Structure 1
């Protein structure tokens, strides 16, 4: 058993992997935005989001690069990239409520960002959104983590993880990328080595982002991992 498979085997399905959970979350955040103007929670915190934006700004010189944020939630990453003058931005989420929230926020700020409801585990839906040109950059901040907690369909107790969804995700990333496309992912469930092992059959590691580290038992590690891949 590989290290990746061993770690995955220890996962238990969670409400964080359920669409109905996220629909409920974004229903509440839409109401909150309408009442207060607050855009809602920034997954993994603002520091992690800023580090991803900074990496894109340092490594993607073309302001017209076609950029996709998978599982965009409230669209915070794309809002930040729009402020950095990136012009071709698309956010997708399987929650229609998340897309509605992100669209409302973007309109309020008078920005041009496209948001689309998408099932990223459906090859036809991936092809529909990617189109013939496909994306120069695909971003993921927590979406793969959530997919790895998705309960298996038909599991009445909802405790068994859908490993097929975890296996399908890298294929969807590859099918969304242009020939020289870059994939930047942030995870709190997987270490850098585990992410490399998962995506190495499809993508080549080209960079990493440093996060605050911790030390335990003489071992130094990070609570969050952000790494970049290029299409092989």
Structure 2
């Protein structure tokens, strides 16, 4: 008994365990666990900061509130909620995962009727997805590019983007896997580089670099 003091009771190890002090091993004591925790925290910080930078960019460049916005791989829809609060009337978030869309729907606040969610495979989009002023990618392109057998899918991504984004429309992409130069090589066809958004920097060996790339392209034809 703990004497009613509420102290936690240590989990006893099984008989014959080498852990003689009565405690069993825990993932909390491994470097891998804390590496994963730090990585999650970094990605969360990057996501939140990048959300702010994207919205600031849209305000700075006086993107009309009438602009239509497509969020490719909407995830938890946090970005869409912020855009909805700003007042954009035509916002669509797509994801190939039905559970992701279900989660997004549960997060979106009541009264934000300007946000629509759809289960869509961006590599094979429906004909209704077209003519957007703004397309945003926060990781879908990364996920496709991580597949070593995805050459055809990478080409299809570019074709799908060209199909849904109107001429003079903007494509905002954030990548943890591609450098600025890599993104320029990947998306320059049919578009021109417009702006590089701020991202976290690190210094190693006296040289600085970026752990994330965030660029804006404008479709030319």
TM range (shorter): 0.7 to 0.9
Distance in structure 2 (CA, Å) of the matches to 1:191 and 1:222: 8
Distance in structure 1 (CA, Å) of the matches to 2:164 and 2:45: 23
Aligned residue number for residue 129 of structure 2 = 129
Q: TM-score, normalised by structure 1?
A: 0.71
Name segments (4+ residues, structure 1) moved above 6 Å. none
Aligned residue number for residue 118 of structure 2 = 116
1:144 is the counterpart of 2:144: no
Q: How much does 1:60 deviate?
A: 4.1
From the two aligned structures, give the one with the greater helix fraction: 1
| Residues 25-84 of structure 1: per-residue CA shift (max 9 Å, x gap) | xxxxxxxxxxxxxxxx95943112221222122224310100100000111111111121
SS of equivalent residue, structure 2 residue 149: coil
Structure number, greater radius of gyration = 2
8 Å contact from structure 2 (residues 137, 173) kept in 1 = yes
1:91-110 to 2 correspondence within 5 Å? 91-106=93-108, 108-110=109-111
RMSD over aligned CA atoms reads 1.8
| Residues 124-143 of structure 1: per-residue CA shift (max 9 Å, x gap) | x243322xxx1000001111
Residues paired across the two proteins, number: 177
| Residues 129-167 of structure 1: per-residue CA shift (max 9 Å, x gap) | 22xxx10000011111111123xxxxxxxxx43221122
Residue of structure 2 aligned with 1:67, choices 59, 66, 69: 69
Distance in structure 2 (CA, Å) of the matches to 1:129 and 1:44: 28
Q: Which moved more, 1:137-146 or 1:212-221?
A: 212-221
Distance in structure 2 (CA, Å) of the matches to 1:174 and 1:220: 34
Q: How much does 1:219 deviate?
A: 3.2
Aligned residue number for residue 55 of structure 2 = 53
Distance in structure 2 (CA, Å) of the matches to 1:116 and 1:203: 26
1:116-195 to 2 correspondence within 5 Å? 116-122=118-124, 125-130=125-130, 134-150=131-147, 160-195=148-183
8 Å contact from structure 1 (residues 43, 141) kept in 2 = no
